[in-house]
Amino acid sequence: MSYANPDSLVDTAWVEDHLEDPAVRVFDGSYHLAATGRDAKAEYAAAHIPGALHFDIDTVCDPNPTPSPHMFPSAKDFAAAVGAMGIGNEHRVIVYDADGLFCAPRVWWMFRVFGHENVAVMAGGFHKWQAEGRPVTAEVPAPAPENFDATKDMNSLRSIEQIIANIDSGAELVLDARAANRFAGSEPEARPGVEPGHIPGSANLPYAEIVDLENGSFRDADTLRAAFDRVGADGSRTVATTCGSGVTACILGLGMHLIGRDNWTLYDGSWTEWGSHEDTVKAKGAE
């Protein structure tokens, strides 16, 4: 069975065909965890898709995140940032990752939360683009600023207070995208001051189970549907996705969107906020 919302993905051939299209804006949305030792900005500066700018989630974010990094900014700040990058409300926005699928879905969700639904992720990422011999450049474009109107949809995000209240109500399924050992609390968290474990009552679906890590693309619709059904994200109730810092949680969200299950939100603070909060319960073991 095909995806219900296939337009949220594009392939590398489509992007190359639209490099000169004035209605399209392409962004390298790459972000790397500190433990990798990689520098997304430096990698972008060395080589990227012609015409693409780097969308840095550590820059386009709440300027005073406590304690989680790169939390969503205000609508005013988001509009100013993307407008300065040459994006108007009329543009089709395409986001890609360095290696495949990691941070691009986070950028995709940011645009949708701020009212811009004409946004898609390039499957396969820059790795696939290069492997296919498509053009690359080190030239950084300087687009003219555009006006961008944004409204922040707070129903698309969850706060720590809402997640705490949900432990008692059970109204929403909290779904964690982290690896099973991190969810169980058997693996230490990399960020200082963040305890291991998971949110009580939450379920675990490691994002690697719905993504083909070798080619950087989502698995087929039937596989996605079966994976989400297995953990209870069958469309019957709202899902609040979470992960380490709100990045890979959006991979789960995009996966649900692809199969037409749009009743999901993002716990933006995710485990970095929950695990460092002195008053939250850190559950251990399997779900």
User: Could you give the CA distance from residue 79 to residue 61 in angstroms, rounded to a whole number?
Assistant: 11
Place of tokens 């939390």: 71
Structure tokens at 86: 């040459």
Q: Closest Cα to residue 232, out of 254, 210, 204?
A: 204
Residue with tokens 């399924």: 173
Helix residue ranges, H only, the chain: 12-17, 40-46, 75-84, 104-113, 125-131, 160-169, 180-184, 221-230, 249-258, 270-276
Rounded CA separation 116/110 (Å): 9
Nearest to 120 by CA among 256, 11, 30, 44: 11
The amino acid at 76 = K
3-state secondary structure (DSSP) of residue 112: helix
Please state, in angstroms and rounded to a whole number, the distance separating the CA atoms of residues 50 and 139: 7
* 243 carries an active-site annotation: yes
Q: Which residues are catalytic?
A: 243
